[in-house]
Structure formats: structure tokens, C-alpha cells
Structure 1
Amino acid sequence: MKIESKDTDIESLLVGSYFHIPRFQRPYSWDDENLNDFWNDVVVNQSEDYFIGSMVVFKKEKQQFGVVDGQQRLTTITILLCVIRDCFLKVGSNDLAEGIHQLVERKDRSNRNEYVLKTETSFPYFQEHIQKFDDDPELDVDIQIEEKNLSNAHIRFNKLVGSVISAIDNDASIPEENKNQVKIDKLVNLRDAVLNLSLIFITLDNEDDAYLIFETLNTRGKDLALTDLVKNHFSKHLKARGAVDHARLKWESMLDTIHNSSSDIASDNFIYHFWSSRYEAVPLKKLFPKIKKEIIKATAKEYLNSLVSDSKIYRSIHEPTYEWSKNESEVSDSLYALQMFKLSQPTPATMSLVRAYREDKIKYKKLRDSLSAIEKFHFIFTAITSSRSSGGISAMYSSFAIRLFESKDSQEASNLIQEFVTKLRDKRPSLEEFNVAFKEVIYTNSNSKQKNLVRYILEKFSLHYGYKFPVDFDELTIEHLSPQKNIGHDGWTESSIGCLGNLIFLDQKVNGELDIKGFLEKKYILNDTGCSLPEFILNTNEWTPDHVYRNAEEMAQVAYSEIWRI
């Protein structure tokens, strides 16, 4: 590997070269904090020959370079130069504006206009909305995360440079006739401060060396991202042939699927769960070396296709409205419950199950029953008893996921699922543990963190007993039979008032009629309006904390032995 380096500055760099941000690079990601730090270092605390570090590139053609390290800084500098250029135009200094634009866009040896900095991932937004000189954008652009970051940087620098110009307008000590020239002088100083930034320019001979350097630089840095490293690895093995870069398009399709989800999912976690649902459970920090070893040139295309297809599966298990039909509502309901429980442990298993269903290895009923078993297990194990696993649960899920992925036919898959469900059943906490924890689930106005769980439980009981309501479940409210105003009186505490044994579902109209009436009056109104009530409540004429806890115990028995029985 041949490496050359030299000391230079930004102006020399932009005057003599063209730069291309290759497809393995991460998107532009600087936020306001990064931009403010850059502005303060370069402009506010201006000093001669300010050093901004190194920039690593590889040779493409004569004076054409691909950027390995430094693309965030180079993109930021280009945006700031474009803002300064546009400000020169606003103060009527067209020559200075055109002078700066020569560092953004100029003619190549074939006399064709070419941008000095070219990027694929944000094309055409970066070119049309930022780099373009004194002309309106001609293309509509689909705004994604990178485009939003570029737009934010452009807006931020416009405000910062604008504040410098506004300060001159507001300075009464400057004669009005001199203010425009002072603005021009200030913009020239700002331009020169940017162009005089010094750096070390490191050049590699070829693109293959660039992949290795990119990986090395990023594995040693604090900004390590599994997604970036895996993208780089695929780019190394799947070179573009012809005008269409299929690998890049597939990779972007995968990221779009993940990033456009309404659920809070990340590409690093997706790749981690993808691997642990198919091949091996490896800690996230140790995963890339494993991927690098397993994915070679001969298999890279197959692996990338699998990532693309699994990204839709991953999104569908985290976003129950994505790619599930009304006829599959029982599956999406179970997936929603698992998200409400805030679980990641079952993800490899749920991915593998949905994948097997999508590939027609298992039927809908098998998928529905399997996900229901996971939901029921974690309701008892996680949501209620808050049991802790030493790692055996995660290992069980990953092992099952991999074996299901490797299964040859539907019969083998069915046997594996039956064995897996049996393991879930055997790992359930005891009824005694469940009973104690169930009575500790509470909901009051001042303690509402378990409200969604309470609604979930009340809905399951309503469905189990076939309770009738005049509106959909989403429109029902939670009613405290003994009202919350009783807390601190006659033995009532927040725990007994908020206990599940004291809670029922009502529609808003009836709930308003009950207000804070006494128990017997409430019961009379509920009977009179035809509302469904638990048998325990129907058979008693008084309501004390003891009644609440006894009702909760009966509910716990039904929950454990019937509703959430695996």
C-alpha cells in the first residue's frame, strides 16, 4: 500500500482537485452542536493557519479523488462557502461571488461544468439546493435524513453569516454610505478564514486500499457504527457494473425501510438481530469481524438480498400496521403487545417465525399461535413478575430462530415450534409469584406509568368474558370503582385505589354519569345502562380495600390459568 501525505490548505485543495464521496461513506450527519463548534473555531476564534486535522483520499483519475476520511468537514466547508457566495450576491459583489463559486463548480479539461465536491447519496439535493449558483432548483427532491441534515447546516450557516451582516446594519458608528463595503470586507475576511484552514492531505493509490483504511479509521474511532462498516464491506465486494449501482440501490432500499418506520428502530440493531436470527448470536461490538469473515465476494450478493428482505420483516414486527392485513390482526396484536412490554429478547425468534411464514414454511395458524405463546409468556414473565434472565432466555430465542431458519420443511419447522412453546411453558413463573405481582399493578392519575398495561389487561378480560360495550376499546376509559378522592380515607391507599381489582372499562358517557358516586349507586347505574360487570362485583353490596384485593386475586387466577395460559 502506497501512502503519500502533504501539508496544504482548503483553497489549494479546492483549486486543484475534484472530490467524490464514494458509496461506502456514511451520510452527512453534522448537527447544530458540530456546526456551532466549527463556526466558533474557524470564525469567532479566528487565527492564522487553523489546523482541522487530516483528510484521506484515494486516486481515481488525475486530480480526481475519492474521499475516505474528512467528508463531513469537506461537505460543511462547501456549504459555508456557498452561503458566503450567496451573501456576496446579496450585497452586489458579483465578482467575489463568482470567485468563490470557482471553488464550488468549475469547468473540467473537457470544458464541462463540474462540481468540485460530488456526492451520490444526497444527489440531487446537495447540487440543486446548495451548490447551484444564482438559479432556482429545477428538480423536486425526496427529502430523507441526510437531506434534512444538509438543509439544517445550510440554514444554520445562513443565520450565522446573516447575524454578522445584521450587526453591521445595526452599528450606528458606521456611516450608512460605508456599510455595504464593510459587509463586503467582513465576508472577504470570513472567506479567507475558511480557505486558509490547514490540513494534512493523505493520498492512497487505489480504492481497494481505501476500503481497508476506512474500516481501520472507523474501528479505532468513537463514531464506530456497524451499519457503516457493513456498508463499506459490501461496497468492497459488490462493485458497480455499468451505469446502475445495484448494490448501492439495494442498500439504500434497506435503510429506507428501517428509517421510514414509525417505530423507533435502528439499522445497527436490525443487522444485529438479522444475524442472530439466522447464523449466530454475537455481541454487537464483536459482530463486524464475524460478518467480515463470513461475507465474501462469492456470497455478498446473497447476503445483501437477505438483508433487504429481512428489513421489511424487522419493520413489520416493530410496526404492527406495516404489511399486516386485517385478516392477520391477531398476529399484529401480539406484536403490538411485545412492543408495549418493551422487549428485545424475543426479536430473533419473532423475525424467524415471520420469515418462515412469509416463505410459506409455516401456516398462519402456526405463526399466530407461536407469537401468542411468546406474548403470554412475557406478560407473565416480564410485564407482571418482572423476572430477570441470566441469559438463558436470550440464548433460547436465538437458538430457536437459527434452527427454524435452517429447517428443511414444514414438518421440521412445526416440530421445532412445538418444542419451543413447551420450553416457554416450562419457564413460566409460578402462580404464587404471579398473584403477588398482579396485585401490585396499579393505575391512578398520579401514578400512570402502567396505564397502557392496565388497558391491555382490561381489554383481554373483556374479550375473555365477552363483555359488551357501545364503543370500540380505544374509546373506553378506565373507571375506579372506589374513586381516587378516597385515597387517604377509610383505609384506602393509592395501591388499593389503583389496583386492578378496583378498575373497570366504561364508555365516556356512562363514566361521566358515575362521577364520584358511591359504590351501590354506581352499581345501580351500571346495571340500569346494561354495562357488563365482573361477577365478583355483581355479587357484593359493599366495596372495601379487602374486596378489591380479593377481586384482584380472582382475576390473577383467571389470567394465569385461562387468558394467558400457554
Structure 2
Amino acid sequence: MINLGEADDPYLIFESLNHKGKPLNQADLVRNYVLMRFQHSTSVGGEQEIVYEELWRPMESRLNGVMPEFLRHYGMRGGRNVRKGDIYIASKFEMEKLNSPAEVKASLANMKEAAFTYQKFLNPLEESDPRIAKRLKGILELDSTVFYPFLIRLYHSWEHEEIGIDEFLRCLDHLESFYVRRLVCGVPTNALNKITLELCLNLTDSKLDGWLHERLTHGAGSRHCPNDQEFSEALVVQRIYPRHKIARYMLVALEESHQHKEPVDIDSATIEHVMPQTLSPEWKIALGIDCADLHDRWLDTLGNLTLTGYNSELGNDTFDEKKVKLQNTHFELSRSLLNYSQWGAAEIEDRGRKLAGIALQRWRLE
């Protein structure tokens, strides 16, 4: 217990006791530093309490346990890297440049606006525009959160009418195409943080979508963005199923590209291997003498995968048996299988190339 006098600031004491002691939530330390900036008005109903209730507390209430991660991404929005353990130091460094309580309040107001935006990243349903919500949902499902510092800046530009909605949507599409192409082609992800910081540091004020497209598509080495030929070929031959998150995301997107007037229930659909994961005697006969090699090479490729609500029923059925069960399917990815009389390497490759053609339009670079 520490007894404080009227002139003592509890937030200053809290900071001095905990900054180099037992590790605490970094957001707690940032909050206390912010409130220390109003130590001239610590009485009940004073400016310190008003700042907490009107500016800080709404952020904490919205973001709850992810407040530290928000502060990290917010601190990176200007192009400076912030490690998880340095959130407090980075925030303090930024706040120390502010000379008056009014400047601190203005800075907190900007932070609060960004926090409310950040909540939409985590829960896209809170975004009222369905076009934006759909793209934010994609970023969340792909786990491409590395772009969040740049998205904070991008979203701010749109909300403040510095860019229009069409330009904003094109920028979001550029980011997704860049990310998906790199994932499919196996480009290492360890450079993405640096790429994001460079985007934040060099963000332009005009023709933002053109600038972003140029930045993302003209990198070399670890910054490389696969071109159409590389992307298309990878979609045909790469084993995509083991990377379940990107496999499902792509299959859903390819299914949705058909723009059904009566949409299917995507959420309940599962991924089905047309040529099954375990070959039955009937499948081995159908595939021929090289069945083991064929199975190893083509099993998990895009051309051998589909979406269906019949996964548990299809199992290791022969291709003809599967076609019978799929006669009434509403999934276009599965309906396309009905056009094939048999199923082997040639058919898997053919279907893979057709799906790759759709994917090139869905994740185009133009």
C-alpha cells in the first residue's frame, strides 16, 4: 500500500513501479503515460478524468484484449517498426513530441478514430459498406494482418475523402492479389512486415491506387509479386490443400465468381478431394500402373479439389459414383466435374488450368 498526498500523481507512480519491473500489459503503461500528461487536472471531473472517459476508455471497451496489438500497429502507421515489447516506448516517444494538453487530446482523438476503424478489421460486419466489409473479411480470413498499419492509413484517407470509394476498393484488391499470389507461389512471408513499413513511410497523397500497384508489382527478390504465368502454373501444380486456409479461401472465391442468383451455403461446405486421399482398389485400377506416382503428384492440387456439402457421403467412391451423387449439386465447382467421363492426371490438369484462368481474373494485377 502506498499513501498518496494531494500533489502526488498515481499514474506517475504506477509507471515508475512497473515499467522495469514485472511485465504488464503494454496498453496499461501507455494509458497511464497519457493520463500523466494531464496531471495538472487530477480532481474528480477534471480534464484527466474527461480524457479517460471520452477518449481512452471507448478504445479499451471496443478493443478489449487486443488493445496492445492495436497500439503496435498504430505506432507503425508512419513506417517505424514497433516490436511487441516496445509498444509503450514507441507510444511515449510519439507523445513526448506534443507540447500541450490540447495537442495530446487531438492526438488521442485521432487514435480513437483509428481504434474504431481497427475494430472493423477484426469484425468486418461492423462496416456498413458491404463492398469494404467483404474485402476486410478476406484480409481477416487470409490472416494478412501484417497490412494493418497501412490499412489504418488507407482507411483514414477514404474516411476523410482524400480518395474515393472506387480507388479505396482497388487498393484493397491490390493488397489481396499481391498476398494471394505470393502465398500460392511460395514466396517467403518474412519480408511482408518491411514491405508494409515502406508503404507507410512512402504513402503518396495522389493517385494512390496507381502508386500502390506500382509498389507491389515491381519488387524483386523477397518483394517479388508473381506474374500471371507464374501464378497460373503454380495453381496447376502446387500442393495447395495442406495450406488449408488459403485453399478454402480460394475455392470459396472461385465458387462466388459464378455470381449465383441463388447463392449456395458456403459456410457449411467442406473441401472434397475428387481423387480420394486413400485409393481404393477400384481407384488404383482406374488410374493405372502409375497410380501411386499420379496420386502423390496431383492429390492436393487445385484441379483435384472442390467444395461440396456431400463430403462424408462421397468418401472413396469411384468417380462415376461421385458424379451420380453430384447430379443435383448447386456448387458450380462440383457441377463442372460432370463434364468429365473419367478422372486422372490429364483431367486434373485440365480442370486446374480452367480454374487458374478464373483465378487470374479474380486476383488480377491490372
Indicate the TM-score class for this superposition, using the shorter chain for normalisation: 0.7 to 0.9
Give the aligned partner of residue 320 of structure 1.
124
- Find out whether 1:563 has 2:366 as its counterpart: no
The structure that is helix-richer by fraction is 2
| 1:295-322 deviation line (CA, Å, top 9, x unaligned) | 3433111112222221110111121112
Give the aligned partner of residue 293 of structure 1.
96
Give the aligned partner of residue 283 of structure 1.
82
| 1:495-543 deviation line (CA, Å, top 9, x unaligned) | 63332211222344xx677554322343355457676357974554221
Q: Secondary structure at the match of 1:498?
A: coil
Give the aligned partner of residue 218 of structure 1.
18
Match of 1:473 among 249, 266, 288: 266
- Find out whether 1:429 has 2:231 as its counterpart: no
Note the aligned Cα RMSD (angstroms). Answer: 3.3
Give the aligned partner of residue 51 of structure 1.
none
- Rounded to whole Å, the distance in 1 between the matches of 2:91 and 2:244 is 40
Match of 1:229 among 29, 53, 59: 29
- Rounded to whole Å, the distance in 2 between the matches of 1:515 and 1:468 is 29
Give the counterpart letter for 1:268 in structure 2.
P
Match of 2:195 among 393, 401, 406: 393
Give the aligned partner of residue 178 of structure 2.
377
Give the counterpart letter for 2:143 in structure 1.
K
Q: Is the 2:184–2:234 Cα contact (8 Å) retained in structure 1?
A: no
Q: Is the 2:62–2:119 Cα contact (8 Å) retained in structure 1?
A: yes
Give the counterpart letter for 1:429 in structure 2.
P
Give the aligned partner of residue 243 of structure 1.
45
Q: Secondary structure at the match of 1:504?
A: strand
Moved more, 433-442 or 218-227: 433-442
> Aligned pair in 2 of structure 1 residues 540, 528: CA closer, same or farther (>3 Å)?
same
Q: Is the 1:345–1:397 Cα contact (8 Å) retained in structure 2?
A: no
| 1:14-43 deviation line (CA, Å, top 9, x unaligned) | xxxxxxxxxxxxxxxxxxxxxxxxxxxxxx
Q: Is the 1:276–1:348 Cα contact (8 Å) retained in structure 2?
A: yes
- Rounded to whole Å, the distance in 2 between the matches of 1:468 and 1:523 is 24
- Rounded to whole Å, the distance in 1 between the matches of 2:19 and 2:329 is 67
Q: Secondary structure at the match of 1:59?
A: coil
Q: Is the 2:298–2:348 Cα contact (8 Å) retained in structure 1?
A: yes
Q: Is the 1:481–1:503 Cα contact (8 Å) retained in structure 2?
A: yes
Give the aligned partner of residue 266 of structure 1.
66
Aligned ranges 1:80-229 → 2 under 5 Å: 206-208=7-9, 211-229=11-29
Q: Is the 2:240–2:246 Cα contact (8 Å) retained in structure 1?
A: no
> Aligned pair in 2 of structure 1 residues 517, 309: CA closer, same or farther (>3 Å)?
same
Give the aligned partner of residue 113 of structure 2.
309
Q: Is the 2:307–2:333 Cα contact (8 Å) retained in structure 1?
A: no
Q: Is the 1:442–1:495 Cα contact (8 Å) retained in structure 2?
A: no
| 1:130-160 deviation line (CA, Å, top 9, x unaligned) | xxxxxxxxxxxxxxxxxxxxxxxxxxxxxxx
> Aligned pair in 2 of structure 1 residues 280, 497: CA closer, same or farther (>3 Å)?
closer
Q: How far 1:564 sits from its partner (Å)?
A: 0.5
Give the aligned partner of residue 139 of structure 1.
none
Q: How far 1:462 sits from its partner (Å)?
A: 2.0
Give the aligned partner of residue 518 of structure 1.
318
Give the counterpart letter for 1:351 in structure 2.
I
Give the aligned partner of residue 486 of structure 1.
279
- Rounded to whole Å, the distance in 2 between the matches of 1:529 and 1:382 is 30
Q: How far 1:440 sits from its partner (Å)?
A: 3.0
- Rounded to whole Å, the distance in 2 between the matches of 1:435 and 1:394 is 25
Q: Is the 1:251–1:308 Cα contact (8 Å) retained in structure 2?
A: yes
Q: Is the 2:302–2:352 Cα contact (8 Å) retained in structure 1?
A: yes
Q: Is the 2:170–2:209 Cα contact (8 Å) retained in structure 1?
A: no
Unaligned ranges ≥5, structure 2 = 220-224, 285-290
- Rounded to whole Å, the distance in 2 between the matches of 1:475 and 1:461 is 16
- Rounded to whole Å, the distance in 1 between the matches of 2:181 and 2:324 is 35
| 1:184-232 deviation line (CA, Å, top 9, x unaligned) | xxxxxxxxxxxxxxxxxxxxxx425x55544333332241543222212
Give the aligned partner of residue 440 of structure 1.
238
The structure that is strand-richer by fraction is 1
Give the counterpart letter for 1:301 in structure 2.
K
Q: How far 1:240 sits from its partner (Å)?
A: 4.2
Give the aligned partner of residue 304 of structure 2.
502
Q: How far 1:256 sits from its partner (Å)?
A: 0.4
The structure showing larger relative contact order (alpha-carbon pairs under 8 Å, at least 6 residues apart) is 2
> Aligned pair in 2 of structure 1 residues 523, 422: CA closer, same or farther (>3 Å)?
same
Give the aligned partner of residue 222 of structure 2.
none
Q: Is the 2:279–2:316 Cα contact (8 Å) retained in structure 1?
A: no
> Aligned pair in 2 of structure 1 residues 269, 57: CA closer, same or farther (>3 Å)?
farther
| 1:347-367 deviation line (CA, Å, top 9, x unaligned) | 112112222222333332222
Give the counterpart letter for 2:226 in structure 1.
P
Moved more, 463-472 or 298-307: 463-472
| 1:260-285 deviation line (CA, Å, top 9, x unaligned) | xxxxx6212211222322x4524232
Q: Is the 2:185–2:230 Cα contact (8 Å) retained in structure 1?
A: no
| 1:353-398 deviation line (CA, Å, top 9, x unaligned) | 2222223333322222211221111111236524335454122232
Unaligned ranges ≥5, structure 1 = 1-54, 61-205, 260-264
- Rounded to whole Å, the distance in 2 between the matches of 1:344 and 1:460 is 19
Match of 2:252 among 459, 462, 466: 459
Give the counterpart letter for 1:472 in structure 2.
D
Report the TM-score when normalising by structure 2: 0.78
Report the TM-score when normalising by structure 1: 0.53
Aligned ranges 1:293-372 → 2 under 5 Å: 293-298=96-101, 299-322=103-126, 324-325=127-128, 328-372=129-173
> Aligned pair in 2 of structure 1 residues 469, 455: CA closer, same or farther (>3 Å)?
farther
Give the counterpart letter for 1:565 in structure 2.
R
Q: How far 1:287 sits from its partner (Å)?
A: 0.7
